[in-house]
Chain A
């Protein structure tokens, strides 16, 4: 297999920018993007929290491919620059020679489209995998019509397949405000924006555009439940005090058919993690992010991370130029790139995200991103209780999680009273979500933990009395997207592999002796 010089994962702003620049620098470049996603993948809430209202048109691959290409003229620009494009193709794995994998000859990534999978060796890897929805649960969150902001925005543009008339947005940061504005552009009614904070958190200019249209802001409020039969009919809100406790008598039901969680974005670090990049916890950038140099280089030689996948905050949500610049910087940092990276010229000011928001709304930013998300969770637990499902795939409630209960299908009949085993997890020294996962099954379902990881970590932190940054990162494993067996299959397997295959260590001894 030949080795590609530059592989870019993700054709968003940062990835496309990196790919075009690398091609202009004379590199041979392959750009891979998983959009258009298959309906089956979206139905597994991958990679965004799409929820269970998905229009059948999403199953029309040809139509969706057209819409993806139309929605971003930079894709055509990339093609013209000589970038090899693989759309509708996910990158499900990243492998490199290391202790315990010395037989691998060179680093490679695993790709898959709807039909087949294949490996691609690379010299340089630029991960621009974006970010996904930060999800918290509440009663009724499984109803059709509840989805994440990243999902809602993708369904509006480029898929043009958001089925909904009347939207409530949870979260008043830039993400929520932008989602609300996009919804208005697409002709949806906006029933309001809800936040536990007393004031709108996000950019004042964005808010004023919404306020002008009479958009209600439900301040200091949280969600009791989403109501409806199988579809959302409304959302019951309740006011909260400064300790995030519901205030009696303040409940109200807001009619709507769509509830959008805009509580934050989580950088997609799966591939960086698999590649062995060092990570650290950056609360203001969405949590765990790769450690990077000013030229976007990670701790692994030849591997760069750009865009939201390296961390995303309010400034980056508002201003796509930051991601774009990161892509340029990485491409120019590639060894043998003709233009050497000149951080100052590219703009320390532009790369300094804080310059955009600092000084604009100091009160809102004093309540940082993670503490705001923690406040939301506290308010939801106070309003909904601990018997609310946290892992929808496996049906695990908050209480079952912190009690480390085995799944219900293992209950004896009658079920034994279960004494909480949380101390078991805590006494290991560092409450590890993987252990909690394996015993309760939270995070082991088809969404690969996308809808519950962050809440599980937060609940574990809370139960252990530690900061969420002290909870170890739950593992990521290939494939980082669900890939059908027959697609993942090595149809390109060499004869030598076939002949010298042992189911265990020594079948030929057994067979021939």
Chain B
């Protein structure tokens, strides 16, 4: 029978990062991916790595991720297109300005380098921004990268170091004997392993259930648009005017935002990811945010399926029962956190503990949730913008 020290279920950036750090630490790792690595949310997101300043339990993980990102090109040996110029949250309304002023003070207390910029300073950073800007918060030590390229960089680096990646291979079961994980059943046959890590994104509930673990996640579809390449306008990522996004190294403006639609996913196969007329509303806000380039064409759009936990925060846990089972869902913020999340998984697998604080991210916090939590929030499949 095929075997490995660690089987990682899911070839998105969370699984790939985990596999990379584990392989580098000398473990024999197999990543099992039902489709193509980085094909889903990992390759479709906005590319931003922020300090996650409003989500206290994630702040240490985000700090570590932003510290690691600038080293990843050299670490992996392949380009991620990381740009570490920080992030700007411009205020385009009085309500948002008030929120950002208050938030900045909070963030500063968390030792997150957050500076208030007045409108003139914002325009120095982003000359093309709307004249209506009322100021903004600038956070250093953050940035953005190319999702698809990053996923592929991890995958190539894993293989360079002798790790294995099985694509077009679905997991069909997890074998648990005497409360220990012993093997993973796949469409390519069984793989014996002492440790199994679920990094299955929207399919987390399906995979968790195979190991007897119930995980509350709700998948949702979100959309992004991309313009033609335009001359260099800004290096920071932007979060404002109802949008989040960046200018790529090539010059495209890539921005998302707006209503999502909740959905359900199968354990295997590729979830549908159609775009909707929402791309017009995203285009409107981008034209309002950057009026100087509003005549530039939108070239394409795409959608991705992410999963949300009930409190929008990741779940990271190494279980006692079944032993050898680790589960992580980054709850729709996997990309930005991935260099650090992978190290956390490595440490949980090898040492049993994480040196990066992950208190508050255990599955047990949802123990009292009940089974109808999605209905209670109107997060059932088909619900829109709830």
Listed in ascending order, the chain A residues whose CB lies under 8 Å from chain B are: 44, 93, 95, 98-104, 108, 110, 117, 119, 274, 394, 406-407, 409-410, 412, 421, 424, 427-430, 432, 435, 438-439, 441, 444-446, 448, 477-479, 482-486, 488-491, 493, 497, 500-506, 510-511
Contacts and interface: CB of A to CB of B under 8 A. Distances in A.
Given A439-B148, A489-B284, A490-B284, A484 B276 contact: no
A511 B96 CA distance: 8
B227 A485 contact: yes
Contacts of A503: 239-240, 242-244, 257-258
B286 A485 contact: yes
Contacts of B308: 505
Contacts of A429: 167-168
Contacts of B174: none
Contact of B277 (A108, A491, A511): A108
A490 B260 contact: no
Given A100-B221, A446-B299, A486 B36 contact: no
18 contacts: A99-B272, A100-B261, A100-B272, A101-B261, A104-B276, A117-B280, A119-B277, A119-B280, A430-B168, A435-B36, A444-B300, A477-B300, A479-B301, A482-B298, A483-B298, A501-B281, A502-B258, A503-B258
A233 B65 CA distance: 56
B283 A485 contact: yes
Q: Which of B43, B260, B283, B305 gathers most chain A CB within 10 Å?
A: B283
B360 interface: no
A330 B280 CA distance: 31
A98 B271 CA distance: 12
Given A432-B36, A500-B385, A501-B242, A438 B149 contact: yes
A420 to B, nearest CB: 12
Minimum-distance CB pairs A-B, first 4: A482-B297, A489-B284, A103-B384, A490-B280
SS class, residues of chain A in contact with chain B: loop
B357 interface: no
Contacts of A98: 272, 274
A501 B293 contact: no
Given A439-B148, A501-B259, 18 more contacts: A95-B274, A98-B274, A99-B263, A104-B276, A117-B280, A409-B249, A409-B250, A421-B156, A430-B168, A435-B39, A438-B148, A483-B297, A488-B279, A488-B298, A493-B281, A500-B259, A502-B385, A503-B242
Contact of A410 (B156, B242, B249, B257): B249
Given A406-B79, A439-B152, A482 B299 contact: yes
B287 interface: yes
B99 interface: yes
Interface string B214-237: 000000110000011100000000
Contact of B149 (A409, A439, A479): A439
Given A448-B300, A479-B298, A489 B277 contact: no
B352 interface: no
B105 interface: no
A213 B378 CA distance: 74
Given A438-B43, A501-B258, A504-B257, A100 B149 contact: no
A448 B79 contact: no
Interface residues of B, number: 68
A103 B294 CA distance: 28
Contacts of A117: 280
Interface in B298-353: 298-303, 305, 308, 312, 332
B108 interface: no
Contacts of A488: 279-280, 283-284, 298
A482 B297 CA distance: 5
A486 B287 contact: yes
B155 interface: yes
B182 to A, nearest CB: 28
A99 to B, nearest CB: 5
Interface of B: 36, 39, 43, 54, 78-79, 81, 95-96, 99, 148-149, 152, 155-156, 167-168, 220-221, 227-229, 239-240, 242-244, 249-250, 257-261, 263, 271-277, 279-281, 283-284, 286-287, 293-303, 305, 308, 312, 332, 381-382, 384-385
A483 B273 CA distance: 21
A428 B36 contact: yes
Contacts of B301: 477-479
Q: Is the interface of B mostly helix, strand, loop or mixed?
A: mixed
A505 B312 contact: yes
Contacts of B271: 99-100
A510 B54 contact: yes
Contacts of B279: 93, 478-479, 488
A441 B277 contact: no
B90 to A, nearest CB: 12
A488 B287 CA distance: 10
B267 to A, nearest CB: 15
Given A428-B168, A439-B149, A485-B286, A506 B312 contact: yes
B280 A110 contact: yes
A402 B250 CA distance: 21
Given A483-B297, A486-B295, A501-B242, A100 B263 contact: yes
Contact of A489 (B283, B299, B384): B283
A55 B255 CA distance: 35
A428 B293 contact: no
A360 B300 CA distance: 44
Contact of B274 (A100, A428, A441, A445): A100
Contacts of B275: 93, 95, 477-478
A95 B276 contact: yes
A384 B46 CA distance: 39
Nearest to B39: A435
Nearest to A500: B385
A211 B221 CA distance: 59
Contacts of B295: 484-486
A504 to B, nearest CB: 7
A401 to B, nearest CB: 15
A490 B277 CA distance: 9
Most buried by B among A421, A435, A485, A490: A485
Nearest to B332: A505
Contact of A491 (B36, B99, B284): B284
Nearest to B221: A100
A428 B287 contact: no
Contacts of B43: 438
A100 B260 CA distance: 9
A477 B302 contact: yes
Given A110-B280, A407-B250, A511-B99, A484 B296 contact: yes
A489 B280 contact: yes
A464 to B, nearest CB: 15
The CB with the most chain B CB atoms within 10 A, among A100, A101, A502, is that of A100
Nearest to A511: B99
Nearest to A411: B79
Contacts of B155: 424
A104 B274 CA distance: 12
Contact of A406 (B149, B167, B297): B149
B298 A493 contact: no
A475 to B, nearest CB: 8
Contacts of A406: 78-79, 149
B62 to A, nearest CB: 15
Contacts of A478: 275, 279, 300-301
A170 B273 CA distance: 40
Contacts of A511: 95-96, 99
A500 B385 CA distance: 8
Q: Give the one of B258, B261, B277, B332 with max A CB within 10 A.
A: B277
Nearest to B168: A429
Question: Which of B261, B273, B297, B305 has the most chain A CB within a 10 Å cutoff?
Answer: B297
B336 to A, nearest CB: 12
Contacts of B283: 483, 485-486, 488-490
